[in-house]
Amino acid sequence: MAEGPSYRVPFRRRREGKTDYESRRALVLSKLPRLVIRRTLKHTIAQVIAAKASGDVVITSAHSRELMKVFGWQGSCKNMSAAYLTGLLCGYRANAHGMKKAVLDIGLQRPSRGSRVFAVLNGVLDAGILVPHDEKILPDEKRMRGNHIVDYASQLLSDPAAYQKRFSKQLSKKLRPEQLSEHFSLTKEKITSSFKEMKA
């Protein structure tokens, strides 16, 4: 470990690998609310946060768990489709609070083109929030709809044992994986219509 009179101990959250203060400073200086996207092993979380002198203030947020509890989502909460829907929900809520623009904050996550983080961003963009980005980082629309899972499940139908083993958790939720794309569209429509009703 470095030592000496000129050595400065890094801030605690930097030592713990939780905050990149140089990146955070640049985001705060933009004077725009931050679209904060975080992932866990099972869920995706999106928040719109404003930096204040007294500390960060969460303006609105969405959790992939809400998709099941409120909108009847029966798919996995950790896949690309759930990430997009979580972003869409967060974006509509931000719109309802009068927000029009934000800047992306993915923390210490490594940016990977077409990842779940950018599926959330895609949902926020589709809800009408402007977030500066490069179009190349966004996931393919077919993957966000779960078409790759539908195709894989259709291939496995010829092997019932492998199909049951691979999709046992999904089947326990009474949703066949080859119906995921259709279920995604229905859930998306529920989210969209719920905010249209609020405006009416």
**What is the edge-to-edge ordering of all strands in the sheet holding 103-105?**
55-63, 44-52, 34-39, 103-105
Q: Which pLDDT tens digits describe the chain residue by residue (200 residues)?
A: 567 778 888 888 877 877 777 887 888 888 999 999 999 999 999 999 999 988 899 999 999 999 999 999 999 999 999 999 999 999 999 999 999 999 999 988 889 999 999 999 999 999 999 999 999 999 999 999 999 999 999 999 999 999 999 999 889 988 999 999 999 999 999 999 999 877 65
DSSP string, the chain: ---STT--PPPHHHHTT---HHHHHHHHHTTS-EEEEEE-SS-EEEEEEEEETTEEEEEEEEEHHHHHHHH---S-SSSHHHHHHHHHHHHHHHHHTT--B-EEE-TTPPP-TT-HHHHHHHHHHHTT-B----GGGSPPHHHHTTHHHHHHHHHHTT-HHHHHHHTHHHHHTT--GGGHHHHHHHHHHHHHHHHHHHH-
pLDDT at 17: 77
pLDDT at 90: 98
Q: Where are the domains of the chain?
A: 12-199
Tell me, what's the pLDDT at 16? 80
For residue 94, with 0-12 CB atoms within 10 Å meaning exposed, 13-18 middle and 19 or more buried, which class applies?
buried
Burial of 111 (0-12, 13-18, 19+ CB in 10 A): exposed
Cα dist. 65→142, 169, 174 in Å? Answer: 23, 16, 17
Q: What is residue 62's predicted lDDT score, i.e. its pLDDT?
A: 98
Question: Tell me: domain 12-199, CATH 3.30.420.100, correct?
Answer: yes
Residues 44-95 pLDDT 10s:
999 999 999 888 999 999 999 999 999 999 999 999 999 999 999 999 999 9
Identify the pLDDT of residue 128: 96
With tokens 């400065």, the residue in question is 8
Instruction: Name the pTM for this structure.
Output: 0.89
pLDDT at 155: 93
Site of tokens 């959250």: 13
